């Protein structure tokens, strides 16, 4: 089981002095890399940091905060550029005031996740379910998942749980994939057979996605995910999560899938299937130009030419989407989405490039509940994260 670092929250590595001694200095060598644990470790350290102690028994330790350094090597992008997890080896050498020395070596697995204040310092470092702050088997907080027929269902899984997955979706195909954006394929195995998510020492397989074709899914189908104990560690606690599927059928509107990196550093989504509005805004510069033509010998001008010329035009689009009526279970992913640094919208009506980057413009959200609001629905605003006129140089 890996030691987890969620790099959007501070992570502190603490080096204590040996018993009966006073710490003088400590150096941490960080090796940050993706690939196979140990095998793909770089020859030289990525970062080297040396700190001195104040040299007292009251504060006999040295602390290193490493999250910001590690985040430089995580790429929360879409498609092949993404790196969702990296290995971090921390080699610490330290010296006491009496010149005696010591070493400490720890391997970590880092995600681009974050913790909440109430989860405490170094959130979700453990993978054990009996710990108050642990990395769960299913890397999302909602157990209700809405789907649109014809669009794949995707569930993020932490592979170190060695999950067994069973679904009531009949006669469909499914598989576990390292890439969220992988489309379901006809040659995948049948959903009537259990699916087993196995763990490896490769960082790019630590987050896997259960991808299920929705062609034969029914409203009320379930996905049951159970961790398989592959260790003899007595602290390991089995986990079981039952996800219920709910179908969205809104033929009147275009459905948009909101895709984002959640608090666990995994890609997650939810659907906005009600009314959507696209707005185009432009800004430009104008100047007055002379349109007089002397070519014929006499001064004249064409009434079809612009005397006020517009140039340097920049166009941007934004979109407002509305969710269907949803259960309270979806409050958490929507709140995590507005805290996400990277978001995308998938347009179910688009047959070419159906997923485009957006920036969430909704920065304030009032949590809705059935007790207070009866029906729960959200309006969300996004800016497309590019200029409409292609100006990439």
CATH number at residue 291: 2.40.30
pTM of the shown model? 0.91
| Structural domains in the chain (count) | 3
Residue that terminates a domain, selected from 221, 249, 277: 249
- 125: in domain: no
Q: Tell me what the mean pLDDT of segment 382-393 comes to.
A: 91
* 115 and 168 housed in the same domain: no
Q: Side by side, which strands form the sheet with 240-248?
A: 144-148, 240-248, 222-227, 163-167, 195-196
pLDDT of residue 58: 63
Claim to verify: residue 112 and residue 150 sit in the same structural domain: no
Same domain, 105 and 169: no
In a domain, 267, yes or no: yes
Domain coverage including residue 39: 3-119
- The residue assigned the tokens 């040299």 is 55
pLDDT of residue 235: 63
Residue 128 lies in a domain: no
What's the pLDDT at 232?
A: 59
Query: Which has the minimum average pLDDT: 107-111, 331-335, 372-376?
Result: 372-376
Judge whether 305 lies within some domain: yes
Q: How far apart are CA 378 and CA 330, in angstroms?
A: 10
Q: Return the pLDDT at 57.
A: 64
Q: How many Cβ atoms from other residues are within 10 Å of residue 386's Cβ?
A: 15
Percent of the chain with pLDDT over 70: 94
Q: Is residue 155 one of the residues assigned to a domain?
A: yes
Residue 14 lies in a domain: yes
243 and 259, same domain (yes or no)? no
Kindly give the residue spans of alpha helices, DSSP state H, lying in the chain.
Answer: 67-71, 331-338, 370-373
Q: What is the pLDDT of residues 103-132, one digit of tens each?
A: 999 999 999 999 999 888 888 876 565 556
State residue 128's pLDDT score: 60
How does strand 240-248 pair with strand 222-227?
Answer: antiparallel
- Per-residue pLDDT band for 187 (boundaries 50, 70, 90) equals very high
Are residues 360 and 306 located together in one domain of the fold? yes
In whole angstroms, how large is the CA radius of gyration of the chain? 27
| pLDDT value for 353 | 76
pLDDT tens readout for residues 238-280: 789 999 999 998 778 999 999 999 999 999 999 999 999 999 9
Residue 304 has pLDDT above 80, yes or no: yes
Residues 260 and 332 grouped into a single domain: yes
Q: Which two tokens stand for residue 31?
A: 């090796």
Q: How far is CA 160 from the centre of its chain?
A: 18
Q: What are phi and psi of 165, to 5 degrees?
A: -120, 130
Instruction: Write the pLDDT tens digit of every residue in 25-64.
Output: 999 999 999 999 999 999 999 999 999 987 666 678 899 9
| Bridge partners for 186 per DSSP | none
Per residue in 65-91, is it b (16+ CB within 10 Å) or e — as a string? ebbebbbebbebebeeebebbbbbbbe
Q: Are residues 9 and 64 in the same domain?
A: yes
Residues 205 and 275 in one domain: no
- 208, 227, 249: which is the final residue of a domain? 249
Same domain, 245 and 255: no
Burial of 126-152, coded b for 16+ CB within 10 Å and e otherwise, reads bbebeeebbbbbbbbbbeebbbbeebb
Q: Are residues 37 and 83 located together in one domain of the fold?
A: yes
pLDDT-derived band at 351 (thresholds 50, 70, 90) equals: low
Q: Residue 93 is inside which H or E element, if any?
A: strand 85-96
pLDDT of residue 134: 76
Tell me the CATH number at 182: 2.60.40
> Using CA atoms, how far apart are residues 292 and 305, in angstroms rounded to an integer?
10
To the nearest whole number, what is the mean pLDDT of the chain? 91
Q: Look at residue 30 and tell me if it is in a domain.
A: yes
Which one of 249, 280, 307 terminates a domain? 249
Residue length of the chain: 393
Same domain, 262 and 385: yes
* Angle, vertex CA 295, rays to CA 289 and CA 297, nearest 5: 115
Domain check: are 149 and 272 in the same one? Answer: no
Per-residue pLDDT reduced to its tens digit, 58-110: 678 899 999 999 999 999 988 877 899 999 999 999 999 999 999 999 999 99
CB 176, CB 188: distance < 8 Å: no
Check pLDDT > 70 for residue 293: yes
Structure tokens at 203: 């960082």
């Amino acid at each position: 089981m890996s030691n987890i670092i969620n790099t959007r929250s501070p992570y502190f590595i603490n080096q204590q002095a040996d018993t009966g001694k006073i710490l003088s200095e400590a150096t941490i060598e960080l090796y940050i890399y993706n690939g196979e644990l140990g095998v793909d470790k770089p020859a030289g350290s990525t970062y080297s940091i040396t700190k001195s102690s104040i040299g007292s028994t009251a504060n006999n330790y040295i602390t290193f905060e490493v999250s910001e350094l590690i985040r430089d090597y995580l790429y929360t992008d879409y498609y092949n550029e993404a790196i969702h997890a990296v290995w971090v080896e921390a080699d610490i050498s330290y010296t006491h005031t009496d010149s005696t020395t010591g070493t400490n070596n720890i391997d970590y697995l880092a995600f681009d996740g974050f913790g909440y204040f109430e989860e405490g310092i170094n959130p979700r470092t453990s993978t054990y379910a009996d710990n108050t702050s642990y990395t769960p088997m299913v890397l999302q907080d909602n157990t209700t998942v809405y789907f649109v027929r014809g669009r794949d269902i995707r569930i993020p899984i932490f592979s170190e749980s060695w999950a067994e997955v069973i679904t009531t979706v009949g006669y469909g195909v499914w598989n576990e994939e390292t890439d969220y954006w992988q489309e379901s394929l006809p040659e995948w195995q049948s959903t009537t057979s259990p699916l087993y998510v196995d763990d490896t020492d490769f960082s790019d397989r630590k987050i896997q996605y259960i991808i299920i074709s929705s062609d034969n899914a029914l409203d009320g189908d379930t996905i049951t995910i159970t961790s398989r104990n592959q260790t003899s560690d007595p602290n390991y606690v089995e986990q079981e999560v039952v996800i219920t599927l709910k179908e969205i059928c809104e033929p009147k509107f275009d459905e948009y899938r909101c895709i984002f990196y959640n608090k666990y550093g995994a890609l997650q989504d939810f659907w906005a299937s009600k009314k959507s509005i696209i707005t185009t805004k432009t800004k430009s510069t104008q100047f007055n130009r002379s349109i007089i033509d002397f070519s014929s010998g006499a001064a004249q001008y064409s009434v079809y030419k612009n005397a006020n010329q517009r140039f340097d035009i920049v166009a941007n689009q934004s979109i407002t989407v509305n969710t269907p009526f949803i259960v309270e279970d979806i409050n958490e992913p929507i709140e995590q989405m507005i805290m996400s640094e990277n978001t995308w919208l998938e347009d179910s009506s688009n047959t070419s490039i159906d997923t485009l980057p957006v920036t969430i413009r909704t920065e304030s959200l009032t949590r809705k509940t059935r007790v207070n609001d009866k029906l729960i629905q959200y309006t969300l605003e996004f800016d497309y994260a590019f200029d409409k006129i292609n100006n990439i140089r």
